[in-house]
Amino acid sequence: MCTLTYLPKTNGFVLGSSRDVEASRGNSVPPRQYLLSDGTIAIYAKDRQSEGTWFATSEKGITVCLLNGGLVKHQKAPSYRKSRGLIPLEYLAAGNLDSFIENYDFQGIEPFTLVIFEHKPVKVYDLVWTGERLIIRDYSASSPIIWSSSTLYNAQAKEIREDWFREHLRTSDFEVNKVDVLKDFHHNGGDFWPNKADRILSYRENGVITVSISIMNYDEAEWLMHFENLLITQNQNVRLFV
């Protein structure tokens, strides 16, 4: 929920998602199928505390990723109406942007950025809730993109991470194997940087660290999620909908 990368490919895309939370909360339930409130199926890893998720894909041909925070770091309120981790599942149940924003009550929810990927045709956009207003941003589906959470990374840190991503793609053969290139970036991006908190594989002493990495490969031939729990060194490949 803190770093998300996107690489386009012919008739599809590859996504990389790093989840940064306290280690005590990081040991999530590995990805599997769940039934959503509308009766459709989604696949995601589940947060044991909130019962929500940060990265999910649906049989409807939609994938969503949640990042904490809106445009900038916000002042945290004493409490909120519900966990942000439920938002990806509620969006997938709604099925499209118009239905979601017309019927959803955003008041009392902590700021977030929900990145949405429609599969056929591929469309990329995000929904930013600042705590006061809703912003929708469109992206080119034909260009690589990186997002970083506003709660952990200021504007300067985001720019530095964007530079790392561009350089990583420039110096790797990402046209040949996009999956391995994103795996490598989420493990090693910025590993030379002195501040370990800003690295893609982030570490903060007694604080938020990168606890898992999810890589999803989607095209007409394959729909596969690779999930890596870094806390217990557990890898899992989940073949998704066909």
pLDDT tens, 2-39?
899 999 998 899 999 999 988 887 788 989 999 999 99
Task: Taking the CA atoms of 60, 216, 87 and 47 in sequence, report the sign of the dihedral they define.
Answer: positive
Cross-sheet strand order for the sheet of 223-229: 145-148, 3-9, 12-22, 208-218, 223-229, 234-239
**Rounded percentage of the chain residues whose pLDDT exceeds 90:** 75
Cα separation, 93 vs 95, in Å, equals: 5
pTM for the model stands at 0.94
* Structure-block tokens of residue 240: 């998704």
- Averaged pLDDT score across all residues of the chain: 92
Mean pLDDT in residue range 45-52: 89
Residue 50: pLDDT band with limits 50, 70, 90: confident
Cα separation, 110 vs 50, in Å, equals: 14
Domains present along the chain, CATH in parentheses: 3-239 (3.60.60.10)
